[in-house]
Amino acid sequence: AQSVTQLGSHVSVSEGALVLLRCNYSSSVPPYLFWYVQYPNQGLQLLLKYTTGATLVKGINGFEAEFKKSETSFHLTKPSAHMSDAAEYFCAVRGDTGRRALTFGSGTRLQVQP
């Protein structure tokens, strides 16, 4: 079975500062990894995903994540935070070939201070 751990339920950064949201996973098979963003009172929107190939993945809104197999990590970064980045971010893994549903982390709420 797979699992996801997101370190830090709340992260606060200043506008223009680096954003780093941490995600570690466990999976018995090569994982597919996802980051989703949820704005208040909305559904989840895909930011980026890793399936195979290049380990540095670029997504929407300037976000990127790097898959590091040796560290079982898939941390999300953005060089310069914008006020509009304030939201909740979820890391998810799909690693079990029998079930295609996602296993989600508990989420990280990002605050951006002016």
Partner 1 sequence: NAGVTQTPKFQVLKTGQSMTLQCAQDMNHNSMYWYRQDPGMGLRLIYYSASEGTTDKGEVPNGYNVSRLNKREFSLRLESAAPSQTSVYFCASSEMADTQYFGPGTRLTVL
Strands 87-94 and 103-104, sheet pairing: antiparallel
* Nearer residue to partner 1 within complex by CB, 41 or 70: 41
Among positions 12, 14, 28, 45, the unique one binding partner 1 when judged by CB under 8 A:
45
* Nearer residue to partner 1 within complex by CB, 14 or 106: 106
For residue 100, what are its two tokens?
């295609």
**43-54 burial by CB neighbour count: b if 16+ within 10 A, else e?**
ebeebbbbeeee
Among positions 9, 28, 55, 80, the unique one binding partner 1 when judged by CB under 8 A:
9
Residue 43 binds partner 1 (CB under 8 A): yes
Residue 24 binds partner 1 (CB under 8 A): no
Residue span 87-106 as binding mask against partner 1, x where in contact by CB under 8 A, dash where not: ---x---x----xxxxxxxx
Residue 10 binds partner 1 (CB under 8 A): no
Strands 108-113 and 10-14, sheet pairing: parallel
CA angle 27, 103, 92 (to 5 degrees): 85
For residue 89, what are its two tokens?
């971010």
Among positions 50-89, residues that touch partner 1 (CB under 8 A) are none
Q: What are phi and psi of 54, to 5 degrees?
A: -55, 130
The residues of the shown chain that bind partner 1, judged by CB under 8 A, are 4, 9, 32, 34, 36, 41-46, 49, 90, 94, 99-107
